[in-house]
Amino acid sequence: MRHPRRVWSREQLLENIWGTDFVGDSKTVDVHIRWLREKLEADPSDPKYLVTVRGFGYRLG
């Protein structure tokens, strides 16, 4: 929220949310983004708030 429209990579999200000691797959982020979209978006298959930036990561807004 402090950085609107900034693009965050999966690795940046993992480090900022779960910390550097996280043991797991970066695809975990994709699953959590999907769950958030289901809660926030009117049409999760056509997101307006949590947008995928192909080849890099995600941005809010």
Tell me the pTM: 0.79
Hey, is 15 helix, strand or coil? helix
Note the pLDDT tens digit of each residue in 34-43: 999 999 999 9
Q: How buried is 58 (Cβ within 10 angstroms: 0-12 exposed, 13-18 middle, 19+ buried)?
A: buried
For residue 53, the SS3 value is: strand
Structural domains for the chain: 7-60 (1.10.10.10)
Q: What percent of the chain has pLDDT over 70?
A: 98
